[in-house]
Amino acid sequence: MEIFWFVIIAIILTIFFILDGYDFGTGIIHLFLAKKEKDKEVIAKAAGLFWDSNEVWLVAAGGLLFMAFPTLYASAFSGFYLPLIIVLWLIIFRAIGLELRSQIDHPIWKTIWDKSFGVSSLLLALFFGIALGNIARGVNLGGVENGTSIYEAHYFFLPLWNASFSPSTTHPGVIDWFTIVIGIIAVVTLAIHGANWIILKTNASINTKLKSVIFNLNITLTVLTVFSVSIWHIIEPHPLANYLEYPIFLIFPMVYFVGLIGLFFIKKFKKEVYGFICSCLIITGGVTSTLATMFPTLLPSTNDVNPDLTIYNTATSDYGMSVAVPWMIIGILLLIIYFIIQKKLLAGKIDDMDYGH
């Protein structure tokens, strides 16, 4: 049952990063490339019409994590308290930026909320990438000092950063040079994803330019990917161990590289959806490759005193997990129905659809 729930939560998180990921990316493109008011309006719609339904998947993932792996939930939500509060505020400012920009027809008013939408989207992408970097790097479980835990074995607390800015220190911060690298990869990936979404859903005047932007960002992402893989051994001495033990896991990095290679042909694609599919593959492959590398660990311990948090030592009882299965199925079916209805109502280009008036 532990593996079953691990897979279900991984799927839901991947769906969230694909769906809300294009909202983050749309905000990044809006911040840096949208200059004309018409483009700003339609690009804001490309996120505004979808963001609230997309974030339902994050709520679902959090609820299932609380149910299936309560020890991990308690540990992560207390240890990552500071960045979680920052993310909460960023989500709020992104939402009100979208909802309020069209309430008053004045340039200063619109500029304020455009910046709120764009900057919060950029920082959300960065912080979610940093969060993934923290999970891959691990934390000082138990707050070990001089070989002694100062907390319970599964608890920890991270400052936003420490003086050394190093991932290898005894007390790492949320932000260090390794997590920043992963955060930048997330920003570039979601900017590509958002650009593909804008091309797919709008007739913005910058769509042709966005194909060149995607191509250039894809080169950057390729370089960053090679760099991150080359430094991975600093964080994990045996980074390929799981792929040697479970060769089937190789499908996940293959998915990533198929999407990465595909986007080099973005200017030749006959259909706009092909670019969006490629960026979906990159996100899917990136998230699943990271989880496959760590399996069955959920949060590594950076000390030798307290063990890693795994799907086995953080799970609830078998009875609890089995009772939750039918309720999970009902909930996911309702989510899927909601999602299908919304996508059908908002199918095609959204330029002339009403939002925020």
Locate 22 and state its tokens.
């294009």
The DSSP letter of residue 353 is: S
Q: For residue 281, which of 7, 14, 93, 64 has the smallest C-alpha distance? A: 14
Three-state DSSP state, 44: helix
Q: Are 22 and 196 in contact (CB under 8 A)?
A: yes
In the block, tokens 């309560």 appear at 70
**Other beta carbons less than 10 A from residue 313's beta carbon:** 16
Write down the H helix ranges in 33-155.
37-48, 51-54, 56-68, 70-79, 81-100, 107-137
CB contact set of 217 (below 8 Å; sequence gap of 6+):
188, 191, 192, 195
Q: Are 139 and 167 in contact (CB under 8 A)?
A: no
Q: Are 206 and 41 in contact (CB under 8 A)?
A: no
Q: What is the pLDDT of residue 158?
A: 86
Q: Are 225 and 185 in contact (CB under 8 A)?
A: yes
Locate 25 and state its tokens.
């990316």
Q: What is the pLDDT of residue 118?
A: 94
Q: What is the pLDDT of residue 336?
A: 87
Locate 291 and state its tokens.
């989880």
Distance, CA of 310 to CA of 68 (rounded, Å): 12
Q: What is the pLDDT of residue 166?
A: 85
Three-state DSSP state, 272: coil
Q: What is the pLDDT of residue 356?
A: 56
Q: What is the phi/psi pair of residue 111, to 5°?
A: -65, -40
Three-state DSSP state, 299: strand
**Other beta carbons less than 10 A from residue 159's beta carbon:** 12
Q: Are 112 and 103 in contact (CB under 8 A)?
A: no
Q: What is the pLDDT of residue 271?
A: 92
pTM value is 0.94
CB contact set of 231 (below 8 Å; sequence gap of 6+):
178, 181
Q: What residue ranges do the domains of the chain occupy?
A: 2-345
CB hemisphere CA count around 260 (13 angstroms) = 21
Three-state DSSP state, 356: coil
Distance, CA of 298 to CA of 76 (rounded, Å): 10
**How far is CA 330 from each of CA 66, 165, 333, 335, 337, rounded to the nearest angstrom?**
18, 45, 5, 9, 11
> Which residues are bridge partners to 301 per DSSP?
139
Three-state DSSP state, 34: coil
Phi-psi region of 356 (alpha: psi -120 to 50; beta: other; left: phi over 0): left
Q: What is the pLDDT of residue 85?
A: 92
The DSSP letter of residue 145 is: B
The low-confidence residues of the chain, meaning pLDDT below 50, are none
